[in-house]
């Protein structure tokens, strides 16, 4: 009898997989793609109204012989329902037979792979001695990036900026619990002018009026922009010295571009392959991205392999 492995988000969190491990797995997957061992399709996204955002990614890897399909819904009204704003599921299939191998929770994967994608870029573009980070948007992605960057940089200060007071307070509390100073300034400009690192993760809602300007970033600062650039003034992006996106092919397929194509210096494949971009104390850098199938593939494959090795999760007959 065939069976599949069920790995809900709570089980995934218990596996103890670090963001750095996921970043390493993403880099390996990017190399596999560049060398013809992994195949993916551009991210699909639908905005059906009421600020909801549905997306899916698909990738097939010949190294692990897996097919990974993720579907996620962002529902801004969910917190009022006492539900997470982001929910979904991931199907992990045997790439040879098509049989279901695992059903994986999407929330953990989405959080950790997004932060891990930022880590891949930050390894090349951010000051390794970064001490301060400003978060604009204080939800799940802020927490996952805080955990990732705290492992990577000698942080000592966090700025938390957001519309939801409870989320801001929760992020500050988490930062203080890690031994970091935490502030919740009213003025995002002051925070961006001081911070070594900036992470923006506002609600994916194009009705939001821009309120951030890349011209506020100090020399040497690095920004991880996870929210499609929604809160940023387009004109300010001209001030960025280095701009990396996640995938040029995917971006070319998108009707609404993250940034003018001529402003892009590299995508992640080019960056991992050795594009001549590096931290410069006199220049600003940014990673502006919408998420790619390679990231979801790498995180889900790593989780399934770790769970199988440890006997974690629940086996369910097909």
Interval 233-286: pLDDT, tens: 999 999 999 999 999 999 999 888 999 999 999 999 999 999 999 999 999 999
- Same domain membership, residue 103 and residue 222: no
Same domain? 58 vs 89:
yes
> Which pLDDT value is given to residue 41?
94
Query: 285 and 300, same structural domain?
Result: no
Residues 211 and 305 grouped into a single domain: no
One domain, residues 249 and 132: yes
Q: Are residues 149 and 242 in the same domain?
A: yes
Check residue 207 and give its pLDDT. Answer: 81
What's the length of the chain?
318
Q: Are residues 311 and 168 in the same domain?
A: no
Question: What is the pTM (predicted TM-score) of this model?
Answer: 0.94
| Coil vs helix vs strand at 200 | strand
CATH number at residue 227: 3.40.50.720
Helices 165-177 and 140-152, axial angle in degrees (round to 10): 20
- Domain hosting 304: range is 3-109+294-317
Check whether residue 22 and residue 152 sit in a common domain. Answer: no
Q: Give how many domains the chain has, as a whole number.
A: 2
- Which phi and psi angles does 260 have, rounded to 5°? -55, 130
CATH code of the domain in which 34 resides: 3.30.1780.10
Residues in the chain with pLDDT values less than 50: none
- H/E stretch holding 60 reads strand 52-61
pLDDT tens by residue, 111-131: 999 999 999 999 999 999 999
Q: Which helix (H) or strand (E) covers residue 161, if one does? A: strand 157-161
Residues 87 and 18 in one domain: yes
In terms of domains, do 99 and 141 share one?
A: no
Question: Do 245 and 283 reside in the same domain of the chain?
Answer: yes
pLDDT value, residue 53: 84
The answer to whether residues 111 and 144 touch, using CB atoms and an 8 Å cutoff, is yes
Q: Are residues 98 and 121 located together in one domain of the fold?
A: no
């Amino acid at each position: 009898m065939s069976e599949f492995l069920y790995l809900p988000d709570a089980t995934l969190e218990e596996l103890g997989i670090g963001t750095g491990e996921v970043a390493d797995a993403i880099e390996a997957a990017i190399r596999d793609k560049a060398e013809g061992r992994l195949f993916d399709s551009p991210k699909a996204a639908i905005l059906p109204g009421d600020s909801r955002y549905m997306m899916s990614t698909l990738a097939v890897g010949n190294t692990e012989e897996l097919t990974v399909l993720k579907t996620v819904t962002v529902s801004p009204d969910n917190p009022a329902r006492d539900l997470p704003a982001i929910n979904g599921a991931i199907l992990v299939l045997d790439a040879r037979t098509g049989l279901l191998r695992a059903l994986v929770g999407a929330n953990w994967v989405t959080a950790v792979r997004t932060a891990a994608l930022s880590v891949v870029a930050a390894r090349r573009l951010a000051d390794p001695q970064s001490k301060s980070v400003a978060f604009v948007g204080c939800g799940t992605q802020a927490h996952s990036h805080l955990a990732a960057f705290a492992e990577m940089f000698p942080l000592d200060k966090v700025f938390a900026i957001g519309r939801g007071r409870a989320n801001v307070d929760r992020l500050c509390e988490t930062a203080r619990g890690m031994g970091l100073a935490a502030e919740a300034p009213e003025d995002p400009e002051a925070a961006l002018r001081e911070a070594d690192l900036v992470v923006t993760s506002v609600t994916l809602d194009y009705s939001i009026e821009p309120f951030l300007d890349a011209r506020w970033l100090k020399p040497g600062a690095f920004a991880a922009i996870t929210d499609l650039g929604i809160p940023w003034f387009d004109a300010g992006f001209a001030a960025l010295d280095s701009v990396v996106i996640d995938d040029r092919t995917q971006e070319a397929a998108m009707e609404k571009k993250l940034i003018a194509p001529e402003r892009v210096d590299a995508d992640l494949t080019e960056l991992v392959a050795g594009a001549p971009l590096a931290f410069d104390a006199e220049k600003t850098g940014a990673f502006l991205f919408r998420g790619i199938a390679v990231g979801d593939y790498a995180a889900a494959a790593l989780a399934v392999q770790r769970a199988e090795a440890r006997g974690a999760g629940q086996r369910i007959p097909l």
